Amino acid sequence: MSGHSKWSTIKRQKGVADQKRGAVFTKLSLAITIAVKQGGGVADPDGNPRLRLAIEAARAANMPKENIERAIARAAGKDAQAMEEVVYEGFGPGGFSVIVEAVTDNKQRTTPVVKSAFDKNGGTIGNQGSAAYQFKQKGQVVVAKNGTSLDDIFLTAADAGADDIEDAGSDVLVYTEPTDLAKVKEALHQSGLLVSQAELVRKPIIMSAISDRTLAERALQFVEKIEDLEDVQRVYANFDISDDLMQQLSG
């Protein structure tokens, strides 16, 4: 929605990940390890699409090559066999919907930690299915504007088979069907656009507008607190804050 800010774009503009690079590398390593495990132990990215995406995300974050190789090697170890993905659903302050993706070797440890973080920051954990219907899994390709107009990127993305685009400041988020992600990414790259990242995401399809400044501050703080948890990989939220209000918050 033009003129409004979703968590996906706010996070990129705020540079949240760059502020905590060490924690980001840890999360990326876990994503690589779990990709190998869920790919049937296939450690070759050419034969494991999810691993290929995890490696590309790590490279986009400037993760050292040796860290990536170590994460792949660790996937064959006993510790990795205990790792599992856990998805939590719930609601943030004011009622917007949240999905939390975590990777853990001890669900009984992680679940109370996530629930406590929700409770302490004004949210509530929901039952399975309580929030998921408000999101849809999509492929997301991050394209740097790099002097190219939004309209030109939109036309190129549409020709490549993309479903939608979203303005994210200096970047444009190009959305695809999950199965078309690799094809669209390659087409955008071949067209001369600067592609910095490609991944599978949960895109909100029902938005929750926030117009109150205090509530907007609480929403942003809530999501960042949840993302800071050690076992948490990703947080998706469907709040929608106007650009004018975001400027007030950052002013």
Candidates 150, 151, 174; CA nearest to 162 is: 174
Query: What is the number of other CB atoms lying within 10 angstroms of the CB of residue 56?
Result: 17
Are 221 and 213 in contact by the 8 Å Cβ rule? The answer is no
Q: Which residues are CB-contacts of 203 (< 8 A; sequence separation ≥ 6)? A: 8, 135, 136, 137, 138, 140, 175, 236
Report how far apart the first and last C-alpha atoms of the chain are (Å, whole number): 22
pLDDT confidence of residue 65: 92
Average pLDDT (11-29) is: 67
pLDDT tops 80 at residue 138:
yes
Q: What is the identity of the amino acid at 203?
A: K
pLDDT confidence of residue 2: 42
- Backbone dihedral angles phi then psi of residue 113, each to the nearest 5 degrees: -65, -45
* CATH value at residue 13: 1.10.10.200
Average pLDDT (4-11) is: 72
pLDDT confidence of residue 15: 56
Given phi > 0 = left and psi -120 to 50 = alpha, else beta, which region is 66?
alpha
> Are residues 173 and 54 part of one domain?
no
> Are residues 141 and 115 part of one domain?
no
Is pLDDT larger for residue 104 or for residue 21?
A: 104
Kindly state the percentage of the chain with pLDDT values over 70: 91
Stretch among 52-66, 87-101, 116-130 having the lowest mean pLDDT: 52-66
pLDDT digits (tens, 9 = 90+) for 22-49: 678 888 888 898 888 888 888 888 888 8
* CATH value at residue 184: 3.30.70.980
pLDDT confidence of residue 3: 47
Average pLDDT (157-168) is: 92
Q: How many separate domains does the chain show?
A: 3
pLDDT digits (tens, 9 = 90+) for 204-251: 999 999 999 999 999 999 999 999 998 999 999 999 998 888 888 876
Candidates 224, 217, 166; CA nearest to 17 is: 224
> Are residues 190 and 228 part of one domain?
no
> Are residues 244 and 196 part of one domain?
no
Q: What pTM, to 2 d.p., does this model score?
A: 0.84
Structural domain for 220, as ranges: 86-131+206-250
